[in-house]
Structure 1
Amino acid sequence: MDAAETKTSILVVDDDDIALEMIEHYLSQEGFLVHTALDGREALELLETREIHIVITDWEMPVMNGLELCRHIRQRFTEHYIYCILLTSRGRHEEIVEGMASGADDFMVKPFNPPELLARINAGIRLVGLETRDLVIFAMARLAESRDTETGEHLERVRQYSRCLAEAMARMPRFADVIDGEFIRLIYQTSPLHDIGKVGIPDGVLLKPGKLTADEFEVMKRHTLLGADTLDAALKKFPRARFLRMARDIAASHHEKWDGTGYPYGLSGTSIPLAARIVAVADVYDALTTRRIYKEAYSTEYAEKVILESSGQHFDPDVVSAFEACKDEFVQFVHRYADPIEESSGITTGGHST
Structure 2
Amino acid sequence: MNTRTSILVVDDDDIAVEMIGSCLSREGFQVFTATDGREALELLEQNDIQIVVTDWEMPAINGLQLCREIRHRFTEHYIYCILLTSRGRNEEIVEGMASGADDFMVKPFNPPELLARINAGLRLVGLETRDLVIFAMARLAESRDTETGQHLERVRQYSRRLAQEMAQMPEFQDVIDGEFIRLIYQTSPLHDIGKVGIPDGVLLKPGKLTSDEFEVMKKHTILGADTLDAALKKFPHARFLRMARDIAASHHEKWNGDGYPQGLAGEEIPLAARIVAVADVYDALTTRRIYKDAYSTEFAEKTILENAGKHFDPDIVTAFQRCMGDFVQLVEKYADPIEVPIDYAGRP
**Which bracket does the TM-score occupy, shorter chain normalised?**
0.5 to 0.7
Distance change in 2, residues 1:180/1:93 (3 Å) = closer
Query: 2:133 matched to which residue of 1?
Result: 136
| Cα distance in structure 2, aligned partners of 1:243 and 1:254 | 16
Query: 2:186 matched to which residue of 1?
Result: 189
Aligned length: 240
1:1-354 maps to which residues of 2 (within 5 A)? Answer: 126-127=124-125, 129-131=127-129, 133-341=130-338, 348=343, 350-353=345-348
Distance change in 2, residues 1:300/1:227 (3 Å) = same
| Cα distance in structure 2, aligned partners of 1:137 and 1:190 | 7
Query: 2:3 matched to which residue of 1?
Result: none
Distance change in 2, residues 1:257/1:348 (3 Å) = closer
Alignment check: 8 A CA contact 2:208 2:343 kept: no
Distance change in 2, residues 1:93/1:165 (3 Å) = closer
Counterpart of 1:241 in structure 2: which amino acid? A
Distance change in 2, residues 1:342/1:254 (3 Å) = closer
Alignment check: 8 A CA contact 1:295 1:350 kept: no
Alignment check: 8 A CA contact 1:129 1:241 kept: no
| Cα distance in structure 1, aligned partners of 2:127 and 2:232 | 13
> Deviations 1:153-179 (Å, cap 9, x if unpaired)?
101110110011001100000100100
| Cα distance in structure 2, aligned partners of 1:163 and 1:126 | 22
Q: TM-score, with normalisation over the residues of structure 1?
A: 0.63
Alignment check: 8 A CA contact 1:311 1:320 kept: yes
**Runs of 4+ that moved beyond 3 A:** 91-94, 123-129, 347-350
| Cα distance in structure 2, aligned partners of 1:291 and 1:127 | 37
Unaligned stretches of 5+ residues in structure 1:
1-90, 108-119
Distance change in 2, residues 1:236/1:129 (3 Å) = farther
Q: How far has the Cα of 1:125 moved from its partner?
A: 8.6
Alignment check: 8 A CA contact 2:154 2:283 kept: yes
Q: How far has the Cα of 1:142 moved from its partner?
A: 1.6
Counterpart of 1:330 in structure 2: which amino acid? F
Alignment check: 8 A CA contact 1:294 1:350 kept: no
Distance change in 2, residues 1:203/1:168 (3 Å) = same
Alignment check: 8 A CA contact 2:188 2:244 kept: yes
Q: How far has the Cα of 1:348 moved from its partner?
A: 4.3
> Deviations 1:12-37 (Å, cap 9, x if unpaired)?
xxxxxxxxxxxxxxxxxxxxxxxxxx
Distance change in 2, residues 1:174/1:126 (3 Å) = farther
Alignment check: 8 A CA contact 2:202 2:209 kept: yes
Distance change in 2, residues 1:210/1:141 (3 Å) = same
> Deviations 1:27-84 (Å, cap 9, x if unpaired)?
xxxxxxxxxxxxxxxxxxxxxxxxxxxxxxxxxxxxxxxxxxxxxxxxxxxxxxxxxx
Alignment check: 8 A CA contact 1:195 1:223 kept: yes
Counterpart of 1:314 in structure 2: which amino acid? H
Distance change in 2, residues 1:209/1:126 (3 Å) = same
SS in structure 2 of the partner of residue 265 of structure 1: coil
SS in structure 1 of the partner of residue 154 of structure 2: helix
Distance change in 2, residues 1:134/1:324 (3 Å) = same
| Cα distance in structure 2, aligned partners of 1:183 and 1:323 | 17
Distance change in 2, residues 1:245/1:349 (3 Å) = closer
Alignment check: 8 A CA contact 1:209 1:293 kept: yes
Query: Considering only aligned residues, what root-mean-square deviation do their CA atoms show, in Å?
Result: 2.5
| Cα distance in structure 2, aligned partners of 1:198 and 1:176 | 34
Q: How far has the Cα of 1:147 moved from its partner?
A: 1.7
Alignment check: 8 A CA contact 2:138 2:190 kept: yes
Alignment check: 8 A CA contact 2:147 2:289 kept: yes
Counterpart of 1:351 in structure 2: which amino acid? G
| Cα distance in structure 2, aligned partners of 1:199 and 1:125 | 32
Query: 1:113 matched to which residue of 2?
Result: none
Alignment check: 8 A CA contact 1:210 1:350 kept: no
Distance change in 2, residues 1:152/1:313 (3 Å) = same
| Cα distance in structure 2, aligned partners of 1:181 and 1:251 | 21
Unaligned stretches of 5+ residues in structure 2:
1-108
